[in-house]
Chains A and B, each alone.
Chain A
Amino acid sequence: MQVKYQAVILGGGQQAGNMLFPLCQDYSKSLLPICNKPMILYQLDVLESAGFIPQDILILITKNHQVVADLVQRRAEIFYVSDNSDSGSALLEAHEKIKKDFILLSCDSMIGANILNLLDFHYSTKATITCLIKEEDLDKKQGRAPISCNLNESFDIMFVGSDHSLLHISNSDDDDQDNLSVSRNVLLSCESIQIMTNLFDTHIYVCQYEVLELYQKLIKQVIDLQNWKEEFLPYIIKHQKNVNLLNLITKKEQGLFHERKQQQFSIKVFITQDYARRLNNIKDYQQANYESMIKGNKGIPLYQSVQDFQIQYPPDARISPDTVIGEGTRIGNKVIIQRSIIGKNCTIGDHVKISNSIIMKNVVINSNCLIQHCILSNESAVGHGTELNKCNLGNLASIEPNQKLVDECIIR
């Protein structure tokens, strides 16, 4: 019988979206749409199809993301955390709400893998924490290489043992050490260990309940563990054979002779080849949108379920077949749209050329504009005759007519 799990989604705090400037200036990261569907709804769909009921899904957000709560109210429970908390400390604040083993997701993790496999793996290996990791295959020599699941420059260096345990994780960016220093006992725990640089952490972790208690005890001793992924996880991975750490975890059940059994502390990785992407920066966000436009065989199953609306547009508009246009959008004459996503209730004037762009709801684009590689957030407006190239507009931003802008971020 499968143990019931609880799902915790980190909906967005103060730090959320700071790499997605300016999209998240006044807007919650979890509401950013992929193919016109807010991110967080994808997560909820995935969880529901894996069998999670609304009582078992907990979303942690800060008070200024109230809008999210309104959107998901019937599908999950909401818990408000304090404003300046980081991913780890938010989890601790919600401690009473978490009653069983839980799966921790970030609101920007898009995965195509089946969560049930991950949960089974966690259960069968009796791991303390299982991380869902995607293995990249950049080295393919046939045709065009598949796009990496992480368009950031930095990557993680991970030591993965032969029994799938994670023995060391560090970012290629922490360059203050010339040497990778790992504890001997950790390296001895597996027979053969591979040093891998092509693994991508999707920020989905299945944890046992004891991990929260450990975290609480640890945070009293070591102050610097606020962030779950950047600080807490590397810390416990580094010290996983440290007796002092293991003593902090004590199993509640006692053996026949009333001994406290020292818990086996193991952090495992579940490596998948399925689609995975984290949308925490602009490049990845754009890439995800492009991937969602691919239809047919090569399309990603995650995005296939988005409905396509038929809308009316004048016959002289040239719209490429992979464009997605939302409901209620009005399109003017002689419009050329290529490979873009346009949200609901937009107004597009005449003679507008849009290519490779992501346009969200209620956007007004006046006539004769040229928009390439841009992201236009909700309710923004673009004046007549403006040319925008690689610009990103925040919420409610507007641009004067007759501008020529390249590579700018504009907010209200």
Chain B
Amino acid sequence: MSEFYAVILADSYDNQFNHLTNNIPKSLFPFVDDLIIEHQINWLSKNEIDQIIVLYRNEKIAEYFNNRRRPGRKTQKIQLINILDSKSSGDALRELYSHGIIQQDFLLLFGDVITNISLKEVINKYHDQRKEDKMNILLMVVHQGIQQYDEERYLYVLESDDKLFQLTDLQQKQIIINKKHITLTKGMPCKYVIRSNLIESGIYICNRDVLKSFQEYFMFAEIKEDFIKYMTTTSDIQEEKIHLYISPKIQVSQRIFHAQSYHNACLKYLSRFFFPYCPQQQYYVDFFKYFAGRVDQKSKISDQCFIGQNTDVKQKVTITKSIIGKNCKLGIGCEIINSILWDNIEVDDNIIIKDSIIASGCKIKNSIQSQIVTIENQKNVKQLLSFQKYDDNAFQSENSDQESDSHELHQKKPKENDDQGLKEDMIDIVANCKTVSQVKEAITNVDTIKVNSNIAFENIVIAFMAAFLDTLQPDVDSLKNAYALWEEFIIRFVSETEVVCYIKSIETFCRQNQQYHLNQFLQLSYKHQILSEQVIINYQNQMATLEDDQFAKDFVQSSQQFKEYLENIILEQEQQENQEGDGEYEYEYVYE
């Protein structure tokens, strides 16, 4: 094992945790009782791998390792390699290759993996494969389980002996298996298996050839998307093979892609999923509760919770499935639900924290804040940021002198308008919604914002229209689709009093962009019952009276037909009423 290096890619290249990773890289996130990278180093040393190379991008990791003192642990040789310029993990690997440290095989580990897979069998299998065929260059470790997150959803098509034949993601509705590469002969026993219950663990055992091929092919950016796909689809030319190691059922791993998987991983860790890697036994209370701090008797702590060292939990606090870090102070009567609190946080009395991640050093003050933030929709975490802008004294983030602090609640931006935040939100919401059900979610979200910050309908409509009009394209179909999608939303927020600003915002938009026709907007609004006939006719009359306005004149001309159509409808309606009126009258007459 002496030659075997472990390479940790201590930085993620995706944007899931942006607001947090701007300050601290993902590897330095606290995970229950320790940092993620410490968990990984611990795991590696238990598997007898002592030589570790950490590829890092953020300076904080270098600082951290320089100041690192861990008494009582085996001394490991940890080398740090700076990959500042890299934009993808492919670049990182190329950098690694250029350093020339790796001679033989190495273990590649992503920086966000928590696992208890025993590496002995993995390495044995890898060596066996290598003996059989020099072309087996990559061994991917997977574990069995139910694929929960989008990033995990893949179909693995395996040949005999766990050779990976095809890896398809599940985005398309139809899965295509290339017939040419499959040898199908009559009567042969089964050779191919399709499995949908495997989850990639982020651990790979690679040969130096892997690095070489990254070096050869400059466009390789990601391991899974590019490299593995390339190897499996052109395998008849390349002959290089990728195998899978399927771990037994008790050995699992969890990658931390986003907030939900982060929370989930913490709960799994508490539930002793990753046995033998668990929080320290001395803190165990019962039902997967670990108390390293002081908890008042009158507080209710549910199962699967962790209270860090020196943390003070006062009376009548309810904590449900949450992780509280070190040195925190929770005031009386707080409720903390499904959240992760890092270190050094002060929470005042009677505060409700739900579904959040609160970074170190925050002070949460003031009266009841209900932050209904659903974890699935990532944008809502950002909503937490903008929350601060609406409510003035709600949060204060403090800079602390301790190491590695970050603020999830962003620094105080100069507060221009409340509107600014609202506009940004709207843009976010509009950009992210693509289906009707998402629109429904958006409606509830905007409702919440409105109620919580006491914003008038008008402002909402203005902000929304700005964002909405931004997403349109000049052809009719795009307009129709957009209106069909947002119909419910618009109807909800545009009532009698807001039609004016609604139409106004469309008008200004059309004035600025000549390709859009105000007429079409009005027709679509009418079709989706956002505007009534009378309103449209009034507006058209108003536009007709505008002099010296070329735009108005054009508009009046193009909308002439529509206007007549609407007037006809109004006439019909009046006639109908009159008719019914007649009927009634007759009825009375007869009756009399």
Give residues in A with beta carbon < 8 Å to B: 136, 138-139, 148, 153, 155, 157, 159, 172, 177-185, 187-188, 190-198
Contacts and interface: CB of A to CB of B under 8 A. Distances in A.
A187 B154 CA distance: 11
5 contacts: A138-B187, A177-B179, A180-B177, A184-B170, A194-B193
Nearest to B168: A184
Interface stretch (B51-59, B194-202, B393-401, B551-559): B194-202
Contact of B175 (A139, A157, A177, A184): A184
Given A138-B187, A187-B155, A197-B187, A180 B179 contact: yes
Contact of A191 (B185, B187, B195): B195
Contact of B173 (A139, A184, A192): A184
Given A177-B179, A184-B173, A191-B197, A172 B184 contact: yes
B193 A184 contact: no
A195 B172 contact: no
Contacts of B190: 194-198
Given A138-B186, A178-B180, A187-B155, A194 B192 contact: yes
B138 to A, nearest CB: 22
Contact of A195 (B173, B186, B191): B191
A155 B186 contact: yes
A198 B193 CA distance: 14
A292 to B, nearest CB: 23
- Max chain A C-beta neighbours (<10 A), residue from B182, B185, B186: B186
B184 A197 contact: yes
A158 B184 CA distance: 11
A138 B176 contact: no
Given A194-B194, A197-B190, 11 more contacts: A139-B189, A157-B184, A179-B179, A180-B179, A181-B177, A187-B155, A187-B175, A192-B196, A194-B193, A196-B189, A198-B187
Contact of A198 (B180, B186, B197): B186
Nearest to A193: B194
B66 interface: no
Given A180-B176, A181-B176, A182-B175, A192 B193 contact: yes
B188 A139 contact: yes
Contacts of B192: 194-195
Nearest to A150: B186
B175 A190 contact: no
A192 B144 CA distance: 11
A138 B188 contact: yes
Contacts of B186: 138, 148, 153, 155, 172, 197-198
Nearest first, the 3 A-B pairs at minimum CB distance are: A138-B187, A195-B192, A193-B194
A64 B197 CA distance: 54
B336 to A, nearest CB: 36
Interface string B152-179: 0001000000000000001011111111
Nearest to A155: B186
Nearest to A179: B176
A179 B177 CA distance: 5
Contacts of B197: 191-192
Contacts of B176: 179-181
